[in-house]
Structure 1
């Protein structure tokens, strides 16, 4: 009885995990059929035909990855599904035969469609500015009170 219940639970969880898989953008800048579809940024006002895809074909996919760098002679991006968190970092890389270093970055996220254009959101960009303005105003007020 318990074995049957365990087996049914296992099958149900496997079915749900494939239905509940994360959706990520999947593209490669070195794709000769669509060379401009997978740049580092998606144009803000374009209506791209590229849409997030279900990652159920990648075992235990929980993360979306955006890798920006130099691929096959060109600079661009690769976006894909992953079962591993590859972290968030940038590094400078020089391939054999290169005369200069190229910046290569990995961005990992875990929500549907999160590996689109930018890893920075508007609030992340505005927050330092707002904090700076508040700090300047506070200093100015203290000077007036002294």
Structure 2
């Protein structure tokens, strides 16, 4: 019986690792804004089946682990924005009234952690959770 050399063991281990471990890839999220003037109807609050956009890799965000859907007031206007994040921003809604505004606007943030989860459809459970939590909080006042 022959003993394997160090280089043979290294090659063998490298082949095993290559075969048994696939490349790890990050999360993929919808990344769009309803304020985008080139595709204004692709990123509404509720995405429909006729949308042309698909979840994209979050390679531009270091350590991205979450998909975010933000609705209401952001970047000086109203609309919906979907993006990647390395932080869990939670699930909540606030009523916002900027100086000079006559109306109060509802602004919500929804966070999820699976590929393409920020389309709006899969966030319904979070919306129910936030609604129930809000009612419970109002009743406790």
TM over 0.5: yes
- Listed one character per residue, the Cα deviations across residues 26-49 of structure 1 (whole Å, up to 9, x for unaligned) are 001111111111110012xx3311
User: Which 4+ runs in 1 deviate beyond 6 A?
Assistant: none
1:70-81 → structure 2 map (5 Å cutoff): 70-71=73-74, 74-81=77-84
Q: Does 1:66 align with 2:69?
A: yes
- Listed one character per residue, the Cα deviations across residues 2-37 of structure 1 (whole Å, up to 9, x for unaligned) are xxxxxxxxxxxxxx4xx4100000001111111111
How far is 1:70 from its partner? Answer: 2.4
**Corresponding residue SS for 2:119:** coil
**CA separation of 1:106 and 1:116: change in aligned 2, threshold 3 A:** same
Distance in 2, Cα, partners of 1:71 & 1:85:
18
TM-score where L is the length of structure 1: 0.65
How far is 1:74 from its partner? Answer: 4.7
**Unmatched 5+ stretches in structure 2:** 1-22, 130-141
1:120 to 111, 121, 124: 124
Distance in 2, Cα, partners of 1:57 & 1:75:
25
Corresponding residue number in structure 2 for 1:108 = 111
Q: Does 1:85 align with 2:88?
A: yes
**CA separation of 1:74 and 1:21: change in aligned 2, threshold 3 A:** same
Corresponding residue number in structure 2 for 1:129 = none
**8 Å Cα contact 1:30-1:71 kept in structure 2:** no
Aligned-residue Cα RMSD (Å) equals: 2.6
Aligned length: 108
How far is 1:79 from its partner? Answer: 0.2
1:1-146 → structure 2 map (5 Å cutoff): 16=23, 19-43=24-48, 46-71=49-74, 74-118=77-121, 119-121=123-125
